Structures are given as C-alpha cells and as structure tokens.
Amino acid sequence: MKRALRIAGPVALVVLLAFVPKFGFGLGKALPGGFSSPGTLQLLAVCLIFAGVALSYDLLFGFTGLLSFGHALYFATGLYVADVAITKWHWSFFEACLITAGVGLVLPAIVGWISLRTSGIAFAMVTLAFAQAGAILVQKNPHSWTGGDDGLGYDYTHVPAAFVGVVNTKNLYWLALGYAVVVFAAVAWAVRSSPGHVWQAIRENERRVEVLGLRTRRYKLLAFVLGSFLATGGGVVYLLCVNGANPSVTTPDFTLTLLVMVVLGGSGTLWGPVLGGALYWYANQRLLAVGGSHAIQSLPGVLRTPLSQPLFVLGTLFILAVFFLPGGIVGIGARGNAGRRGLRRLEAALRGTGDAA
Amino acid sequence: MSTFVLLTITGLGLGAMYFLVASGLSLIYGLMGVLNFAHGAFLTVGAYATWFTESKLGGISSVTLRFLLASLVGLAVGALFAALVELVLIRPLYLRHIEQVLVTVGLSLAMVALVQGIWGNDARLYAVPNWFRETTHVGGATIPNDRWLDIGAAVLVLAGLKAFLRYTRYGLVIRAGVENRAMVTALGIDVRKAFTLVFAIGGLAAALAGILSGVYFTEVDPGRGTSLLIFAFIVVVIGGLGSLTGSAVASVVVGLSQQYVNYYSSGVGDLSVVLLLALVLLARPATLAGRTA
C-alpha cells in the first residue's frame, strides 16, 4: 500500500505533464505564448532534459559523493557523436543511437578507471581535465566533423519524421518527458539496489566500506558509468530538441551549471535535481528575456549591467543558497538539521580517504 | 635548432604563467583544503583592473610608466579582492570544505558574467612598453622579450615564496598549518590570519599571471581566467597538491610539452597535456594524495 502511494504521486505528475501540449492557456508573463505554443513546448522540453541530466549528475555527486567536474563531457558525447554520425557519416538514426550508446559506455569506463585512482579534490581536477580535452577536441574540429565554434547543424533527413519540424514540437516534448522519466526511474531503482546502498555508504564513510571488504573503486566506477551513460542519452534528446550541436555544452562552465542545478534543488535526493534542473533552465531563459526588457534596460547602469547577465544573477543566488539553504529547494520544508543535511554529509566524501586532516 | 630554442623559451614562458596560478592554488589547498575555483576570477579581475587603469592614465605620456602604475594597481586589486573573498565568503564556512568549493564555483560563474556585462565579450587590447614587443637573439632564435619577463616573474615569485615560507614567522605558521592545522591552533596561534594572507598572496600571483597573459596574448578577455585555471589544475595535480616545488617542476614540464607537441604535431599540445596527466595518474597515483609544503 505504502509502495503504491509512493508511486502514485510521480505517476500523476507524469500524466499531468504529458497533457501539457493539449493546454490552450498560458501563465501570463511567466510563460508567454501559452503551453501549447511550439516556443513554450521547446523551452519545457529542454527543462525536462536538464532535469534528467542534473539527476544523472546527482547520482555521482549527491548519492556517491564523487565531486566530478567533467559531467559535461558525457552530455556532449551524446550530442556530438550522434550528430556527427547522422550528419557527417550519413548513418541512419538507429545506427547513430547505437554508436552513441557504445561510446557513452566505453568512454566513461576508461576515464572513470583512470580518474578514480584519485579521490576527493584531485578527482574533481582530473575529471575537469578530461572534460577540457573533450572541449578542445570539439574546438579543433578534426576532419571538419564537429564544426568548431560554429557548432554543427544536423541532417534532418536521417531523423524520424515525427521529430522534425515546428509542428512536431509536441513529440519532442514527449520524448524529453520520456527521457526524464527513464532517468528518474533508473536512478530511483539504482539507489535502492544493492550497489546503490554501497554508493551511499561510500559517501558517508569510504574507509569503513573498505574495511567491510568491499572494493569501493568498482562501485564508484559503476556509479560513474551509469550516471555518465544517462547523461549521454540526454545529449541525444537535446540534439533533436535544439536541431544541432553547440560547443557551449562542452565547456567546464556547463558542468558547473549542472552542479548549481543539483545544489539549488537539493543534492542527494531524487526530486531536488529534477526541480533544480528544470527551474534553473527556465530561470536562465526567462532572465535573458527579462534582462532585455524595458523594465531592466531603464534602470541605472550599476543595476542594469549585473541584472542583464543571467549567469551573474544565478551565480549570486547559488552562493546565497549555499550559505542559507544547504538542503536546496527540497530542504526548505524539512525541520531543523534535516534540511541542512544535503551538503553536510558530502563532507567526508570530498576529503577522500587519502587525506588524514 | 633555432626553432627548438624558441619553443623552449616560449614553453617556459607559458609554464611560468601556469606556475603563478598554480602556486596560489596549491598553497590555498595545502593550508585550507579548499579547491579555489575563483582563482581564475582573481586572474581576470587583476588583468582587467590593469587594463582599465592604463586606459584611464592617458595623461602620462610614458607607456612604461603607465604600464608599471597600472600593473601595481592590478596586483593590489587582485590581492585585495582575494583577501576580501576569504574574509566574506570562505571564513564563515570554516572547515566545511564542500561548501567552500561551491561558493568559489558560484563566484567564478558570477564574476565572469559580471566582467562580460561591464566590458563585453570582446577581447581588450593591452598597451605595453615597446621593449616587450621587441625581440632578442638567442642561439639563432628570435625571442619576443615578454617571454623573459614571464620567466623572470615566475622565478622571483618562486624564490620569494620559498624565502617567505622559510625565513618569516608567518611562513613558519603556514608551513606548520599545512603539516598539521589542528596542532597549530592548539598551540594558540590564530591560523585564520594565515588563511587570509595565503589568499592575498594567491590573488597577487594570479593577478600577476593575468597581467603577464595580457602581455603574452596582447589582449585580455573574460574567459582567460578559466582557460588558464584548467592548466593550473593539471599542474597542481601532477606536481602534488600543496607542494610549491612540485608545482614549479610540473608547470615547466606542462608548458614545454605543450609547446613541443603543438609544433611537431599540428596543434594537439593541449590534448597531450591531458594525456600526460593520465599517464602520471596511472604511473604513480599514490603521490597525489601527499600534502607537503
């Protein structure tokens, strides 16, 4: 019965979200154009993708205590491998998905195997370096595959017709919703599985898990590969939603953005990153629009300049959240110390086992 | 041969900049356990402060004097900004390492956005004394003079920091703090003053790197801090977290290999540095957890 109730909430939410393209109304200034307009649906679709990608990052950061600064690499892998396979190699969509899935499993396995030789802060730096290698590779534009700074549009003739064109935005929205649901289900199932319990134990106290006779590195690698693979899937869906690949998602800033989403929402929870990812992207897009609006542009320069930069506003909000809301959005309702738990319990994990201080 | 000399000197110049960023990172991590993501912001702030001051000093006709004055302002701004960050943002989160890292992440995002908002996304040209743009002949190679400046600055900072750590009381406190912070506190020494000091030193070195990178690339843009920071991270990991000498050696290795590989195999130098990092990790992962000053 309890289990049924636990599942009923999310199912009701998904059903509600699935009917969004049928809504004729809008939300005034908060969502101009009405729910069913293609612009709004595309915005909501990307929100759902980032909800899923943020949750895949939380699997590493919030549940296993791995502070990776290279999650952008796997999202970008999904985006670029699929795009290059479709557009430059003229593969069918199905073949492109297969090769992307292959790369999405092998790449994090290799990178994870190397970087997990370190822990704590060194792990963060090493994953950042690998992600940077990916960003440089995209920038260098080998064989003119990636398009460098200009990004790479995609060849829509090789993509199923249901996902092409403005008329079909609602299908893309449903695809993004499906992706978010799959990630949520996968992460919810994984963290309750037997390795999932080991991940959370590693987060709490890695040495104690080692003393129990478990090889923590294998479990960490499993979390790393699963989280990265889920992010790769997000990259493919993102490719369809924004009609091409853009180098901005390969940069370290994008990983930091994911970190901001997770912490704002509430790390180490399932709903926190979902909320954080969706709200962050929505806020980012709306702040861009609001920043160019008359109300902001007529302010004096001292206020106008910072407020017209979404990243400045969100970065400042993030700092404030770390100080005053360490449990994130989902921690607001929790009483006393429970709400502050989110980041606190990651403390031991970050310091790693090699650090005695 | 002359190409080789040019590559070597340029690689050393590049390594010098990496070292200036890495030294502060490494000291801050060694003493406080904080991975300072805002270090790139210190660099950007210092570089922009120098550029801004110089553009306002039109009344002084000597470019050299203008550049020197502007650089002093840039260094001071970098150090002050870093000290302020420590006092306002890092100190209240004492010993909560993950939150400290997150705050510096937020700060680096916000500062880059702010600089973009104020001065735009485009690069700003650096006006520098003519001597830096001229060249010297060494071993048949024509070397731009600013490379000597980079190398000289890094050697001076390394020697200065070493002397400071070895011969002054604060240096002693910092060295002891890196070794065992709890014991230093137990002995009644306020180690927090050393924290602010280390941040100020780190900010100063980062601002210096920012100014030198402005001279090296002839311009400064909002993304400069982040791109140098990543190589500094690689240097710090290869050199060993918390070790100044390790950072110095690693920055030379990284700078040189980047230049050589870039020349001999069309522009994959940046990737080779990451490969180097992977090899080091595979070969000797144990040294990376070490914390020696």
ipTM of the complex: 0.86
* SS3 assignment, position A244: strand
Give tens-digit pLDDT for B31-42: 888 889 999 999
Q: How far apart are CA A40 and CA A209, in angstroms?
A: 47
Residue B249 has pLDDT above 90, yes or no: yes
- pLDDT at position A343, please? 67
Read off the pLDDT band of A174 (50, 70, 90): very high
Q: Quote the distance between the C-alpha of residue A249 and its chain's center.
A: 11
Is the Cβ–Cβ distance between B264 and B53 less than 8 Å?
Answer: no
Outline where chain A has alpha helix (H).
2-18, 38-58, 64, 72-87, 93-115, 120-140, 169-192, 194-204, 206-211, 216-242, 252-265, 271-291, 294-297, 301-307, 310-324, 341-344, 347-351
Stretch A118-145: mean pLDDT, rounded? 86
- pLDDT at position B23, please? 92
Backbone phi and psi for residue B62, each to the nearest 5 degrees, phi listed first: -80, 120
- Domains plus CATH for chain A? 2-351 (1.10.3470)
Q: How far apart are CA A91 and CA A97, in angstroms?
A: 10
- pLDDT at position A228, please? 97
What tokens does B146 get? 């600013």
CB contact B83 to A (< 8 Å): no
| B9-23, B87-101, B144-158: least confident range | B87-101
Q: SS3 string of A71-97?
A: CHHHHHHHHHHHHHHHHCCCCCHHHHH
Give how far A121 is from chain B: nearest CA, Å.
Answer: 7
Residue A220 has pLDDT above 80, yes or no: yes
Stretch B115-137: mean pLDDT, rounded? 85
- Cβ–Cβ gap B96/A126 under 8 Å: no
The share of chain A scoring above pLDDT 90, in percent, equals 47
* SS3 assignment, position B220: strand
Instruction: Compare B199 and A297 and report the one with higher pLDDT.
Output: B199
> Residue B166's CB: how many other CB atoms inside 10 A?
10
Is the Cβ–Cβ distance between A126 and B281 less than 8 Å?
Answer: yes
Is the Cβ–Cβ distance between A352 and A121 less than 8 Å?
Answer: yes
- Cβ–Cβ gap A67/B278 under 8 Å: no
Query: At B174, which helix (H) or strand (E)?
Result: helix B169-179
Which residue does chain A place closest to B119, by CA atoms? A305
Q: Which of A203-207, B131-135, B161-165 has the highest mean pLDDT?
A: B161-165
Q: How far apart are CA A118 and CA B25, in angstroms?
A: 18
List b or e across A142-171, with b for residues whose CB sees 16 or more CB atoms inside 10 angstroms: eeebbbeeebbebebebbeeebbeeebbeb
Give tens-digit pLDDT for A46-69: 999 999 999 999 999 999 999 999
What tokens does A67 get? 């502070």
Instruction: Compare B60 and A240 and report the one with higher pLDDT.
Output: A240
Read off the pLDDT band of A287 (50, 70, 90): confident
Q: How far apart are CA B9 and CA B33, in angstroms?
A: 34
Read off the pLDDT band of A285 (50, 70, 90): confident
Stretch B268-281: mean pLDDT, rounded? 84
pTM: 0.88
Exposed, middle or buried, B109 (CB in 10 Å: 0-12/13-18/19+)?
buried
Is the Cβ–Cβ distance between B5 and B143 less than 8 Å?
Answer: yes
Q: How far apart are CA A34 and CA A23, in angstroms?
A: 8
Residue A37 has pLDDT above 70, yes or no: yes
- pLDDT at position A357, please? 32
Give how far A355 is from chain B: nearest CA, Å.
Answer: 7
Which among A109, A104, A136, A83 has a CA at the least distance from the CA of A252?
Answer: A136
- Cβ–Cβ gap B289/A118 under 8 Å: yes
What Cα–Cα distance (Å) separates residue B35 from each residue in A348, B32, B97, B166? 15, 9, 8, 24
- pLDDT at position A341, please? 60
Architecture of the B2-289 domain: Orthogonal Bundle (1.10)
- Quote the DSSP letter at residue B142: E
Which among B223, B256, B253 has a CA at the least distance from the CA of B235?
Answer: B253
Instruction: Compare A333 and B113 and report the one with higher pLDDT.
Output: B113
Which residue does chain B place closest to A357, by CA atoms? B180
Give tens-digit pLDDT for B154-199: 999 999 999 999 999 988 988 888 788 888 889 988 888 888 999 9
Read off the pLDDT band of A356 (50, 70, 90): very low
| Chain A residues whose beta carbon lies within 8 Å of the beta carbon of residue B237 | 118, 122, 125-126, 129
Residue A337 has pLDDT above 60, yes or no: no
Which residue does chain A place closest to B104, by CA atoms? A319
Q: Which of A42-51, A250-259, B260-269, B273-282 has the highest mean pLDDT?
A: A42-51
Residue B289 has pLDDT above 80, yes or no: no
Report strand pairing: B135-138 vs A152-153.
unpaired
Residue B274 has its nearest CB partner, among A132, A263, A310, at: A132
Which of A137, A146, A302, A322 to probe by mutation at the B interface, max B CB count within 10 Å? A322
Read off the pLDDT band of B272 (50, 70, 90): confident
For chain B, how far is it from start to end, CA to CA, in angstroms? Answer: 38
- Cβ–Cβ gap A315/B109 under 8 Å: yes
Residue ranges covered by each domain of chain B: 2-289
Is the Cβ–Cβ distance between A224 and A112 less than 8 Å?
Answer: yes
What Cα–Cα distance (Å) separates residue A258 from each residue in A57, A229, A253? 7, 15, 9
- pLDDT at position A224, please? 97
- Cβ–Cβ gap B99/A322 under 8 Å: yes
Instruction: Compare A172 and B58 and report the one with higher pLDDT.
Output: A172
What tokens does A74 get? 């796997």
Please state, rounded to an integer, the average pLDDT across all residues of chain A: 86
Residue A256 has pLDDT above 60, yes or no: yes
- Cβ-Cβ pairs closer than 8 A, A with B, add up to 147
Stretch A208-236: mean pLDDT, rounded? 95
Instruction: Compare A114 and B281 and report the one with higher pLDDT.
Output: A114
- pLDDT at position A171, please? 92
- Cβ–Cβ gap B109/A309 under 8 Å: no
Which of A350, A351, A353 to probe by mutation at the B interface, max B CB count within 10 Å? A350
What Cα–Cα distance (Å) separates residue B79 from each residue in A62, A241, B43, B76, B243? 34, 45, 10, 5, 21
What tokens does A332 get? 């607001």
Query: At B141, which helix (H) or strand (E)?
Result: strand B141-144
Query: At A152, which helix (H) or strand (E)?
Result: strand A152-153
Residue A128 has its nearest CB partner, among B101, B230, B289, at: B230
- Cβ–Cβ gap A311/B109 under 8 Å: yes
CB contact B87 to A (< 8 Å): no
B residues 1-30 closer than 8 Å to A (CB): 29
Residue B291 has pLDDT above 50, yes or no: no
Q: Which of A167-171, A247-251, A334-338, B196-200 has the highest mean pLDDT?
A: B196-200
* SS3 assignment, position B44: helix
Give how far A145 is from chain B: nearest CA, Å.
Answer: 16
Read off the pLDDT band of A142 (50, 70, 90): confident
Tokens 């970087």 sit on residue:
A115
| Chain B residues whose beta carbon lies within 8 Å of the beta carbon of residue A126 | 237, 277, 281
Give tens-digit pLDDT for B192-221: 888 899 999 999 999 999 999 999 888 898
Single-letter residue type at A235? G
Residue B50 has pLDDT above 70, yes or no: yes
Stretch A287-315: mean pLDDT, rounded? 80
Interacting residues of A129 by C-beta distance below 8 A, sequence separation 6+: A70, B230, B233, B234, B237, B273, B274, B277
Give tens-digit pLDDT for A66-114: 999 999 999 999 999 999 999 999 999 999 999 999 999 999 999 999 9
Is the Cβ–Cβ distance between B267 and A140 less than 8 Å?
Answer: yes
List b or e across A326-348, with b for residues whose CB sees 16 or more CB atoms inside 10 angstroms: bbbbbbeeeeeeebebbbebbbb
Is the Cβ–Cβ distance between B177 and B31 less than 8 Å?
Answer: yes
Residue B29 has its nearest CB partner, among A121, A136, A323, at: A121
Residue A125 has its nearest CB partner, among B102, B181, B233, at: B233
Residue B271 has its nearest CB partner, among A136, A260, A352, at: A136
